[in-house]
Chain A
């Protein structure tokens, strides 16, 4: 039973524009959310996170928004760059950190 869902398998965006990736979750016990970036044949690398007590966290070009009532979070990348082309995974964790539930990922392609 998939508790973290990324319903868009792919996203194509022009360089310089905004990329918006969406993630929905079903488990209200999740209290920590993370975004990872993954290149082919490599492990995921941490991008940005947000705890359930916040609704926004920003780090450079990356901003994560959390809507707890809707059980929805999104990742905004602006401006998008060709190096951002990768698979982005949304992940969630319960209290105490550790075990992560991952979404299926969204393949982002940034075109020149």
Chain B
């Protein structure tokens, strides 16, 4: 089956610093990737839709200047959490949609802890 990887799997950073999370589709091309966030014991919340070669579309309440998304190729999207604060600590998951739109595959997630 299709594989989506995320790097790093776990990161700890200090408050005020920026962290970049990569999402890669390893064996297929993904025109569209999605970024989700999951707080403990809560559902996955869609943050933004990332389209290759264009600006990301953010969900209501998600600060686009804080969560920078770049989708520079058909296999890579990055999420940069800028000026991270402890309340940004969460589990971030990406998913990649096949170009025919039939399937969506999730990455393993990145655990971000901001101290």
> Which of chain B's residues have a CB closer than 8 A to the CB of A104?
41-43
Contact status A105-B46, CB under 8 Å: no
Contact status A43-B43, CB under 8 Å: no
In the docked arrangement, what's the CA distance between A2 and B103, Å? 24
User: A84-102 vs B: 1/0 string, CB under 8 Å?
Assistant: 0000010000001111111
User: B90-115 vs A: 1/0 string, CB under 8 Å?
Assistant: 00010101000111111111010000
Interface residues of A toward B: which range?
Answer: 20 to 34
User: B57-93 vs A: 1/0 string, CB under 8 Å?
Assistant: 0000000000000000000000000000000000001
Contact status A101-B46, CB under 8 Å: yes
Q: Is A45 an interface residue (CB 8 A)?
A: yes
User: B37-58 vs A: 1/0 string, CB under 8 Å?
Assistant: 0000111111001000000000
Q: Could you count the A-B residue pairs with CB atoms below 8 Å apart for me: how many are there?
A: 57
Contact status B109-A42, CB under 8 Å: yes
Q: What residues make up the interface of B, taking CB atoms closer than 8 Å to A?
A: 4, 6, 9, 32, 34, 36, 41-46, 49, 93, 95, 97, 101-109, 111
Q: What residues make up the interface of A, taking CB atoms closer than 8 Å to B?
A: 2, 4, 6, 9, 36, 41-46, 89, 96-105
Known: A42-B109, A43-B93. 4 other contacts (CB 8 A): A43-B109, A97-B102, A98-B101, A98-B104
Task: Show 29 A/B contacts (Cβ-Cβ < 8 Å), sorted by A.
Answer: A4-B43, A6-B43, A9-B41, A41-B9, A41-B108, A41-B111, A42-B109, A43-B4, A43-B93, A43-B95, A43-B106, A43-B107, A43-B108, A44-B44, A44-B106, A89-B43, A89-B44, A96-B101, A97-B102, A98-B101, A99-B46, A99-B49, A100-B34, A100-B44, A102-B36, A102-B43, A102-B44, A104-B42, A104-B43
